[in-house]
Amino acid sequence: MISIEIENALEHLNKGNIILYPTDTTFGLGCDATNSDAVKKIYQIKNRSDSKALIILVESERRLQQLVKVPEVAWDLIDFSEKPITIIYDNPKNLPNELIASDNTIAIRLTKDDFCKKLISKLNAPLVSTSANISGEVSPKTFNDISQKIKTQVDYIVPECETFVPKYEASTIIKLSANGLVKIIRE
């Protein structure tokens, strides 16, 4: 049985709306990552330059492999990382241009969070996951820290956000290049 929070969030995501939701790291602004118009709305809400790419979440290895060619080292990084890890991959496919960085890369995290996994699975698409803050401001540590501007511009706030305590400020970000180069972007 699907929880009512997932049903409500799913209803909004399917309409191209933006949600505020708890992630495996912090509070996230999210939309269907395959919906260009929804992705553009996230950039507007965050007041973020579209030259700065967004992170997306996937719930399964299968979905990850539908979007990028996964180097062998990525599986080791995912398996052995103690905290959530976002990996920047080369040459994404099946995603709108608004999500793809100018160097033809995409940042993807294979989430282990149950709520996110269920939501992405039911949506049957990757989910944008960007911190719930105005660009340049500090990521919120509590629901009350989230800007009123953000709260009023999203279409749905998952009720769990009001009591959610983030486990991590952010994920580790590692860039894997096709030439085998591994670069830590954020620890």
CA dihedral for 118, 25, 141, 175, sign (positive or negative): negative
Query: What's the confidence (pLDDT) of residue 53?
Result: 85
Give the pLDDT score at 87.
95
Q: Alpha carbon 8 to chain centroid distance?
A: 18
How confident is the model at residue 1, as a pLDDT? 43
170 residue type, one letter: A
Q: Do residues 128 and 99 touch, judged by C-beta distance below 8 A?
A: yes
Residues of the chain short of pLDDT 50, as ranges, are 1
> What was the pLDDT predicted at 174?
87
Other CB atoms within 10 Å distance of the CB of residue 60: 13
User: For position 2, what pLDDT does the model report?
Assistant: 59
Span 110-149, pLDDT tens digits: 998 999 999 999 999 999 999 999 988 888 999 999 999 9
Runs of H (alpha helix) within 22-162: 36-46, 61-67, 72-80, 114-123, 148-153
Q: Which domains does the chain have, with CATH numbers?
A: 4-186 (3.90.870.10)
